[in-house]
Structure 1
Amino acid sequence: MDGIEVVPVLKPKKVLVEGGGLAECEVAIHLAHDGKKVRLVEMRNKLVPDANIRYRPILLNEIEKQGVEVHTEFKGLKVTS
């Protein structure tokens, strides 16, 4: 096949999500639902503080239900193996 490069697809079992905003929390839930062990790191003291007042409790409940490991008041400085 000329011009086509075939590369292996990585399927990690552990995933780090940096940030605790709405998008990051939804990604963490999705990855956990797919069977990944997810660790979420947020530098603020709570997740999604600016989320809709009705949606935030549902989101936080789902994060807990899916077993996402949450670390608030932490800042990601470097990613290593």
Structure 2
Amino acid sequence: MIDPKILEDFGAKMSALLANSPARDIEKNSKALLSGLLAKLDVVTREEFDVQASVLARTREKLKDLEARVEALEKARQG
């Protein structure tokens, strides 16, 4: 029967080997490259977009209300 300690040691060594493998470096470098490219494209996160969309919607509502008030004041001034 195989000793569980041997299996644990083998698993630990495999984990360490995979953590230090070139694949891990490639993944890390790819993420850094992609982040750099996205930064150059000047894109925003979905969260930032949603916040700005909400601000724009509120601003449009305020503008609509102000336009109605101006129109009412102009009518009152003329009448």
- Choose between structure 1 and 2: higher helix proportion: 2
- Choose between structure 1 and 2: higher strand proportion: 1
One fold, TM greater than 0.5? Answer: no
Q: Under a length normalisation based on structure 1, what TM-score does the superposition of the two structures give?
A: 0.20
